[in-house]
């Protein structure tokens, strides 16, 4: 029995939700998002709440139940508040800057890395060592953050590279003589 799946998703005022078969569409002040729920799950919208139930008691239906509810919840949260990820850059000479529609990263390579900012994603660099990625789609925000982190992930000896804010990097001791 899914504990998360049992809770209905509240739709706040100023947000409109529509359920058409297996499609859930949510429109709010920040934009509009849609999600297609798996066929093994039933979605209903009534009294300002979206409820999710498994179609039958099979293991597959129950496993998709909580995930579907969370996806609908992320749609509602995305169009009201939005999502953001913060990246930190550490290392001598490592920096980031937004130039036009590109994020320019200097990460110790012989060339600067130009990362084109995808549509629907907003990237800000308050400091040269901080990157703030925001948008309404949680999956896309996380994917962009992961792609930027992949250019130079944090290394365990000096901790240089791009890491998520608050991420713990397990440090290793260097060679001994």
Q: What is the 3-state secondary structure (H, E, C) of the chain?
A: CCHHHHCCEECCCCCEEEEECCEEEEEECCEEEEEECCCCEEEEEECCEEEEEECCCCHHHHHHHHHHHHHHHHHHHHHHCCEEEEEEEECCCCEEEEECCEEEEECCCCCCEEEECCCCEEEECCCCCEEEEEECCHHHHHHHHHHHHHHCCCCCCCCCEEEECCCCCCCCCCCCC
Q: Is the pLDDT of residue 5 over 90?
A: no
Fold of 3-80: Outer Surface Protein A; domain 3 (3.90.930)
83-164 is classed CATH 3.90.930.12:
yes
Q: Is the pLDDT of residue 118 over 90?
A: yes
Q: How confident is the model at residue 2 (pLDDT cuts 50, 70, 90)?
A: low
Indicate the pTM of the whole model.
Answer: 0.88
Kindly report the average pLDDT of the chain as a whole number: 92
Confidence (pLDDT) at 1: 60
């Amino acid at each position: 029995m899914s504990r998360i799946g049992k809770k209905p998703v509240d739709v706040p005022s100023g947000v409109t939700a529509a359920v058409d078969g297996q499609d859930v569409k949510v429109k709010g002040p920040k934009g509009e998002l849609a999600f297609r729920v798996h066929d093994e799950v039933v979605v209903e919208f009534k009294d300002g709440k979206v409820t999710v139930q498994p179609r039958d008691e099979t293991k597959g239906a129950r496993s998709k139940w909580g995930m579907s509810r969370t996806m609908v919840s992320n749609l509602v949260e995305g169009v009201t508040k939005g999502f953001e990820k913060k990246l930190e850059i550490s290392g001598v000479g490592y920096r980031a800057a937004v130039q036009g529609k590109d994020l320019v990263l200097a990460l110790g390579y012989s060339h600067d890395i130009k990362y084109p900012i995808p549509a629907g994603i907003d990237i800000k660099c308050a400091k040269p060592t901080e990157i703030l990625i925001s948008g309404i789609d949680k999956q896309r925000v996380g994917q962009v953050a992961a792609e930027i982190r992949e250019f130079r992930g944090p290394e365990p000896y000096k901790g240089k590279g791009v890491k998520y804010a608050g991420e713990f990097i397990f440090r290793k001791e260097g060679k001994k003589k």
